[in-house]
Structure 1
Amino acid sequence: MDSNDLDLFARVCRAGSISRAALEAGSDQSTISRRIAAIEAELGVRLFRRSGRGVALTERGEQLLTYALETKRMLDEASRTLRSSSALGPARLCIAAQPTIARIMFGPLAHALKAHFSSTQVRFVEGLASQLLGALKDGELDVGILYAPEHRGALAYDLLLTEGVCLITPEDYPLDGETIDVRALASVPLILPSTHHGLRMLVESLATRHGFSLNVAFECDGSISLTKRLVLANCGCTVLPSAAVVEEMAAGRVKCFRLENPPVTRDVGLFWPQHRAGAGGIWQVSRLIRDCAETLVRRNDWPGTQLVPG
């Protein structure tokens, strides 16, 4: 016997007739009669006295009705409580992103979270992928919006969008057009992170795949802002998504060339600790993040990107 059986039993009690209960339930009388008989057989008691005018509860039926009504009350209360807490969102929420993503998303996302979950205490964290992936794995973060690494480990994730990767040069660098062949990177002095960073690994893999050696002018493991300052100081060029240099391009301080033949892209995904992917309002938060990204892409506030349906 389960809650559905108790609900059916209570329905027959309210209707006072198996035929009327069947009509209300959109079922047939014989099905309900068999189910009531099965409940009586399981409990070993008679629940109804039957007559030509309908059914009436026995003493044991009265006892079961008390339990049925209490069970329904508890289930209704649990449903209301969970729906209410879901609408309020998690009590605390820590969202992390790499610098380019954080610069684009954290402002609009803060407004969206405040509008939907006004009582949630939100903490934003910016960091490098190696730091954030470790923190996610250890459960220190709730959600990460990250460039997808080659090896995702035990983290749960959903792809959010793909983003084009570009060569970023000083404004007076002797290169024209809007694109550059991947193989032409061989002759470009590059400012790149050291080998454990995602962008360096991406460019290294391009060089290996297309048979050329990189010309690394400087290694820079600081922030993207530092790398951009080195480019602006004519110390070399770098490889970044175009969204990372929107302001500099608008001011005419750098040039941006899409890497082509083939097009070079990176995936951006939503990452969670594996045990937390569907817990504590995280699903609603991930939906808000996806909606926020969709709005940014549609308005071209996140240039060079394409959404991944989800």
Structure 2
Amino acid sequence: MQPESAATDFQISLSSDLNRWRFFVVIAQLGSLTRAATFLDSNQSLLSRQLNALERECGVRLFNRTGRGVALTETGRLIFDRVVALLKDAEQLDQRLQDYVKAPIGKVTFACFTSIGSTLAARLYDDLRKDAPGVSLSYMEGNVGQIEAWLADGRADIGIVYRYGDTLPEHEFELATVDSYLVGSTADRWTSRAEVQFSELANLSFVLPGTPNELRSTLESLARDMGFSILVSMETNSLPLMKLMVAQKGLHTTLPIHSVLDDVAGGRLQASRIVNPPVKRLISMAISKSKGPSRTVSLVSTRLFDLARAILVDS
């Protein structure tokens, strides 16, 4: 695909020597050629020549010389913020280039829900230690709403989230589609079968996440369509507490099977797949839009994608 504008469309003259503009910013900030020369590890006469050359290129004075130092002229003040922005953009470009020529380094933060987060973090740590030792990993755990907020404000670079429906937002990639299961205690008759009809949920008391929550909304909408309401006896976003209330207090919840696989295998809980209709959950990986993926984030997201899919397939 051709770029929207060719390189020859750009007319660059005054901004071609970024070092001179860096000198301009430092001199303006320090208000003195002497202090600027010391800061830049240069000499005052060389700095003065560079400044004079820049002003000749611009065709206008950028500084007023005073007995106490230098101060920006009106023109200098007008362009100062734009010059700072230009230098920051150049610095970001330089960093991006360095990312591509060096081994990946830096900290990457990923966020996930409780059910697979710890397993995924441990496997990702081992993977990065072996193949990308310069990458530092940070892990945050929360519900979908929290993860979305962390991605939005840049606290998380990558997030694993649940979605309900057939389409994904931009910057998200599908990992798997999983069924929802009705989870009960080992003495519970409703979960003693392989499958349970959605209509049978009308007879049960639930412990579910607090609102707003996509799962709650989906369950309540389906129940309304069938003429009943979901009875929520307790709200919590804590997966361990949900399991405790199910195992010891006779409540029910709905979870994907990977969330309770060990509990079912260990004889602590039972789980039946919800059918007619099934409640499908789409698990996706989201990339923060606030910062954009660096090479390091791109590397980690690729590894994370493969590891998460493997865990979900195994379960």
TM-score scaled by length of structure 2:
0.64
- Cα distance change on mapping 1:224 and 1:115 into 2, 3 Å: same
Paired residues, number: 224
Alignment partners' CA distance in 2, 1:153 and 1:264: 17
State the partner residue of 1:210. Answer: 226
SS of the residue 1:233 aligns to:
helix
- Cα distance change on mapping 1:244 and 1:119 into 2, 3 Å: same
Tell me which of 158, 176, 187 is aligned to 2:173. Answer: 158
SS of the residue 1:287 aligns to:
helix
Tell me which of 191, 209, 212 is aligned to 1:196. Answer: 212
Alignment partners' CA distance in 1, 2:163 and 2:107: 25
CA contact (8 A) 2:113 2:161 kept: yes
Alignment partners' CA distance in 1, 2:204 and 2:7: 71
Which structure 1 segments of 5+ residues have no match? 4-77, 304-310
SS of the residue 1:286 aligns to:
helix
**1:134-153 → structure 2 map (5 Å cutoff):** 134-148=149-163
Indicate the percent of aligned positions where both proteins have the same amino acid. 24
1:84 aligns with 2:62: no
- Cα distance change on mapping 1:225 and 1:79 into 2, 3 Å: closer
Alignment partners' CA distance in 2, 1:94 and 1:107: 14
CA RMSD after TM alignment? 2.9
Tell me which of 187, 192, 215 is aligned to 2:203. Answer: 187
State the partner residue of 2:270. Answer: 255
**1:1-310 → structure 2 map (5 Å cutoff):** 81-85=98-102, 88-148=103-163, 156-175=171-190, 176-216=192-232, 218-298=233-313, 300=314, 303=315
Which AA in structure 2 matches 1:212?
F
State the partner residue of 2:15. Answer: none
- Cα distance change on mapping 1:79 and 1:263 into 2, 3 Å: closer
Which structure 2 segments of 5+ residues have no match? 1-5, 9-94
Which AA in structure 2 matches 1:158?
F
Alignment partners' CA distance in 2, 1:153 and 1:248: 31
CA contact (8 A) 2:186 2:268 kept: yes
TM-score scaled by length of structure 1:
0.65
- Cα distance change on mapping 1:79 and 1:243 into 2, 3 Å: closer
Alignment partners' CA distance in 1, 2:188 and 2:99: 59
